[in-house]
Amino acid sequence: MSETGRRVLLAYYGDDFTGSTDAMEVTALAGLRTVLFTRVPDAATLARFSGYDVYGIAGTSRAQSPEWMDAHLPAAFEALVRLDPRLVQYKVCSTFDSSPTTGSIGRAIDLGVGVVGGAWSPSIVGAPQLGRWQAFGNLFAAAGPKNYRIDRHPTMSRHPVTPMNEGDLRRHLAGQTDRPIDGVDFVALDGFDPARIEGPAPVVFLDVLDPASQARAGEIVWEAPDARLFSASSSGLQYALVAHWRQTGRLPATPPVLPEAAPVARLLVLSGSCSPITADQIAHAEDAGFAAIRLDVRAAATPARAEAERARIGEAVAAAFQTARGVIVYAARSVDDPAYAALQAMCAETGLPFAEAQDALGRFLGALAREAVPRFGLERLVVAGGDTSGRIVESLPIDALEVAHPLVRGAPLCRCHSASEAYDGLQVALKGGQMGSADVFVKALGGAAAPAAALSAAGS
């Protein structure tokens, strides 16, 4: 038995915060009690959340070096093993973007297998529910109405830190680990038997294209003879397990329905995303009456200028809330935005690594969020961008998150648990750059983005 007093089905470490809430959403909406910690929990924190089926720890390793992983991931994996789960997962992005020097999934697997053990390490990345498919080892992803192999995806092939230039995940991962890597394509799934695996704990990718292959992949992992397995997977693992559990009766075929979120008086959106999908969402919100405020990214990323820029943005937000219920603060709208070029130029001038400049922007937005929640009495906050979400939530006095309401697939509204009254009960949605429909920010606000005259009527 685990420290929580019952068998835990799955425990995972998320390599960024948006992906962590995406994974939490899948099991929570299936009816499994799921909690996500914002850091490795101590005994007192864990005691407040006993009896859950699934536990997660949200992290920021997607933006970190292998050396950082060596220093931080083993303790996180050891904490998960102490919960005595059947599976330990390193939750990765469904686009699998990573590199040997930043967010190395290979290094995470080597560390995780070393802690968790197991004769093999399965990996499920395809998740049709998110517009992700894996066929013959190659990953495909949706972008608007079209689907692309990941190395031809209009956003992920141009990711500013970890561009995907290889569609075959086996070849991509081989640049990050010396561990044997294999794959089971969807043609061979039915006949695959993990008991016949040989070699030093190879990574084995399982194709997922449709409901049948998804449920079969979940069956292969869950019914494997290993006492415990380590899996570096997207939320495709959660989707596959839920599909299998429904087929076998462990979960009901019809999941419980969470209530829709009520409108709030005002909503603040903080975006560090450079995705064109997020750009469309910002434009849609502006058309619906949101106010959009652009950061001076050079000032925000420069320590000597950041405090003055934060004061400027704070006053701009205050003024915007006089005329709009929804306010968006954003760094750039895409990699073609002049602000992106300006940040690159600053890095070239000063010698500051671009990743450090992006990290500074995330911490800037985190400080802004910490001030804004009590100042404006916010009940709901939306963050766009995976790395940005991590930096912002780390800046807030929040211990754990639970899914409260659906919003868009992959980005639910989460209830915050905090010892601080201003943050306890705060609702937060962490939206990855590739996630959500054009109206996601409008849906998060609820109702029309009415002018200030309507705020008093809304109870603000």
**428 and 373 belong to one structural domain:** yes
Question: What does the alpha-carbon distance between residue 199 and residue 188 come to, in Å, rounded to a whole number?
Answer: 20
Domain-located, residue 1: no
Query: 336 with 411, same domain?
Result: yes
The pLDDT, as a whole number, for residue 409 is 85
Cα(10)–Cα(343) distance, integer angstroms:
40
**CA–CA separation, 409 and 112 (whole Å):** 28
Tokens describing residue 220:
């292969």
H or E segment at 383? Answer: strand 380-384
Going by DSSP bridges, is the β-strand pair 229-233/85-91 parallel, antiparallel, or unpaired? parallel
Within a domain: 260: no
Claim to verify: residue 282 and residue 142 sit in the same structural domain? no
Tell me if 257 is assigned to some domain: no
Decide: 344 and 377 in contact? Cβ < 8 Å: no
| 198 and 279 together in one domain | no
Residue 379 maps to a domain: yes
pLDDT attached to residue 454: 41
Looking at the structure, tell me whether residues 310 and 416 fall in a common domain.
yes
Q: Average pLDDT by consecutive 10-residue portion of the chain (460 residues)? A: 62 94 94 96 91 95 95 97 96 95 97 96 97 97 93 90 94 97 97 90 97 98 94 98 96 89 96 89 95 94 94 97 96 87 91 88 94 97 89 93 92 94 95 87 81 38
Report the pLDDT value the prediction gives residue 410, as an integer from 0 to 100.
Answer: 84
Q: Is residue 28 part of a domain?
A: yes
Report how many domains make up the chain. Answer: 2
Measure the CA–CA gap between 113 and 89, rounded to whole angstroms. Answer: 10
pLDDT at site 6: 58
Question: Does any domain span residue 254?
Answer: no
Nearest CA to 109 out of 165, 205, 176, 206 is that of 176
Give helix 354-376 / helix 303-320 axis angle, nearest 10°. Answer: 40
Domain boundary among 220, 248, 276: 248
* Predicted pLDDT at 40: 94
CATH code of the domain in which 315 resides: 3.40.980.20
Clarify whether residues 41 and 146 are in a common domain.
yes
Judgement on whether residues 233 and 131 belong to the same structural domain of the protein: yes
71 domain residue, yes or no: yes
> Is residue 83 a contact partner of residue 3, using CB atoms and an 8 Å limit?
yes
Of 200, 218, 248, the residue that ends a domain is 248
Whether residues 63 and 174 share a domain: the answer is yes
- Under DSSP, the state recorded for 436 is S
51 and 191 co-located in one domain = yes
Phi/psi region, residue 260 (left: phi>0; alpha: psi -120 to 50; beta: rest), is beta
- Residue 445 contacts residue 299 (beta carbons within 8 Å): no
CATH number for 145: 3.40.50.10840
Domain of residue 448: give its range. Answer: 267-458
Q: What's the confidence (pLDDT) of residue 335?
A: 81
Count of other CB atoms within 10 angstroms of residue 49: 18
Are the CB atoms for 364 and 310 separated by under 8 Å? yes
